[in-house]
């Protein structure tokens, strides 16, 4: 999704705005629309041609209220626009599509294996994956970081889940098909057919994998099989749904934070020079990159009962869509929100959501992103865009699928990457 800086008050007819259209995020300018909505209609209703409708929630504090209060806004009917108006078959079976106490019973055991403390031991493995990802820079040619980043999280999430490496490329593509079924690069047949086929293949894959799993806690799927929630083991369908959700969450967020942050550093070279001069700024740069890119574009909830939000009456059963990229540009919370600032403090972005459904994979994502940008600052002195930037056609993920780059390497970069490659080969 193109990240624009609105100038003045953009002339936008809110009656004609279509935030449902995936093409808007590939070819349009949603930030200009969100800017106007925050100013003029922070809770705005859109009705689709088929009669379905939803409320767009664009202010930071309203987004937080909707995401944290399950007593007023439920997740159990579905959390993505792709299933607007139909009940999610995974409702109350998948952690992401459930409310407390069901959600809490599933989440608390998983937090033990997904916490930052538990995942720290995986840092050497992730660093090796980072070096492998950066190795093509040694060739001195054009490198597509958008395409490279698409495979990056699969390498450590696949290992964490215990999935065979031979399956990783197809699984990475399937998860993108599931969230961008109308994108011509990932579409296989019609958009709806692509979505259905991706879901079918993923659910079938995990069903077979779970049935054939030997058990034990050696990987995340084994943990799910043996895990108890509210005093009972998870059913087969619950394990499959949660495998799908965990993989989707990892694969469709981290890659786009990478590409968008690198593009922001190219467009703000003074910020990259600050980062090169002081690598201790990497964690702040990662957080600002997450705010800036907001790769998870929206989350949806349904009103549990009649209520009022921003003086707007909401009826029981109405769908509300929280736009995270808009919340992360709210000037009531983020001073000068269209400035990319790697030292921004505070930076309470909602790129990973908010409240009970705060992304359970956030610790692993932040470990991976911090290691990646630590190594980038050690290797790359300067990036330059070397071709057209192509954005993903999806209303759920704000992403860059292709970002061709050239790089000027820092002194010692070649030795570092070549040494890492030798160590990798020796470990095989």
Which pLDDT score, from 0 to 100, does residue 427 have? 55
CATH number at residue 342: 1.10.630.10
Per residue of the chain (428 residues), what is the pLDDT tens digit? 888 888 777 789 999 999 999 999 999 999 999 999 999 999 999 999 999 999 999 999 999 999 999 999 999 999 999 999 999 999 999 999 999 999 999 999 999 899 888 888 899 999 999 999 999 999 999 999 999 999 999 999 999 999 999 999 999 999 999 999 999 999 999 999 999 999 999 999 999 999 999 988 889 999 999 999 999 999 999 999 999 999 999 988 899 999 999 999 999 999 999 999 999 999 999 999 999 999 999 999 999 999 999 999 999 999 999 999 999 999 999 999 999 999 999 999 999 999 999 999 999 999 999 999 999 999 999 999 999 999 999 999 999 999 999 999 999 998 888 887 776 565 55
Largest separation between any pair of C-alpha atoms in the chain: 64
Burial 330-346 (b: 16+ CB within 10 A, else e): beebbeebeebbbebee
Which pLDDT score, from 0 to 100, does residue 421 have? 73
Determine how many CB atoms are found less than 10 A away from the CB of residue 21: 16
Residue 380 domain-assigned (yes or no): yes
Q: What are the beta bridge partners of residue 143?
A: 405
Residue 113 domain-assigned (yes or no): yes
Residue 2 domain-assigned (yes or no): no
Residue 4 domain-assigned (yes or no): no
Residue 397 domain-assigned (yes or no): yes
Residue 7 domain-assigned (yes or no): no
pTM exceeds 0.85: yes
How many domains, the chain?
A: 1
CB 320 within 8 A of CB 55: yes
Residue 113: CA atoms inside 13 Å, Cβ hemisphere, count? Answer: 18
Domain around 422: 14-427
CB 256 within 8 A of CB 177: no
Residue 107 domain-assigned (yes or no): yes
Which pLDDT score, from 0 to 100, does residue 423 have? 66
Residue 121 domain-assigned (yes or no): yes
Peptide bond into 296 cis (omega under 30): no
**Strand ranges for 126-165 from DSSP E:** 143-144
DSSP annotation string for 250-293: HHTTHHHHHHHHHHHHHH-HHHHHHHHH-GGGHHHHHHHHHHHH
Q: Which two tokens stand for residue 46?
A: 């859109």
């Amino acid at each position: 999704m193109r990240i624009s800086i609105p100038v003045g008050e953009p002339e936008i007819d809110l009656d004609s705005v279509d935030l449902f259209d995936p093409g808007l995020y590939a070819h349009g300018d949603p930030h200009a629309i969100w800017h106007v909505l925050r100013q003029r209609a922070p809770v705005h209703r859109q009705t689709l041609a088929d009669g379905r409708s939803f409320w767009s929630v664009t202010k930071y504090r309203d987004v937080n209220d909707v995401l944290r209060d399950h007593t007023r806004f439920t997740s159990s009917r579905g959390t993505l626009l792709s299933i607007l108006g139909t009940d999610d078959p995974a409702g109350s079976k998948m952690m992401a599509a459930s409310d407390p106490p069901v959600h809490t019973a599933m989440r608390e055991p998983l937090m033990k294996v997904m916490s930052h403390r538990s995942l720290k031991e995986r840092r050497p493995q992730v660093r090796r994956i980072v070096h492998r990802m950066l190795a093509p820079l040694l060739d001195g040619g054009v490198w597509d970081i958008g395409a490279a980043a698409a495979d990056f999280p699969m390498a450590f999430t696949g290992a964490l889940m215990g999935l065979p490496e031979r399956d990783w490329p197809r699984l990475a593509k399937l998860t993108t098909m599931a969230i961008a079924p109308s994108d011509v690069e990932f579409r296989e047949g019609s958009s709806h057919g692509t979505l259905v086929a991706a879901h079918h293949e993923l659910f079938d894959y995990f069903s077979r994998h779970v049935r054939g799993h030997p058990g034990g806690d050696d990987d995340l799927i084994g943990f799910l099989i043996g895990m108890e929630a509210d005093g009972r083991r998870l059913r087969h369908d619950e394990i499959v749904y949660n495998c799908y959700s965990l993989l989707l969450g990892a694969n469709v967020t981290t890659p786009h934070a990478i590409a968008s942050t690198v593009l922001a550093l190219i467009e703000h070279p003074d910020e990259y020079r600050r980062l090169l001069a002081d690598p201790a700024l990497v964690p702040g740069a990662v957080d600002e990159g997450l705010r800036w890119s907001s790769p998870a574009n929206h989350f949806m909830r349904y009103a549990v009962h009649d209520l009022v939000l921003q003086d707007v009456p909401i009826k029981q059963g109405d769908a509300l869509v929280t736009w995270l990229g808009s919340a992360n540009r709210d000037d009531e919370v983020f001073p000068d929100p269209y400035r990319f600032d790697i030292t921004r403090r505070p930076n309470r972005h909602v790129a990973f959501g908010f409240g009970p459904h705060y992304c359970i994979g956030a610790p692993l994502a932040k470990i991976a992103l911090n290691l990646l940008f630590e190594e980038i600052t050690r290797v790359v002195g300067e990036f330059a865009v070397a071709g057209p930037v192509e954005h993903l056609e999806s209303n759920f993920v704000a992403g860059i699928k292709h970002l061709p780059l050239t790089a000027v390497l820092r002194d010692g970069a070649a030795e570092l990457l070549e040494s890492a490659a030798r160590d990798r080969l020796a470990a095989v």
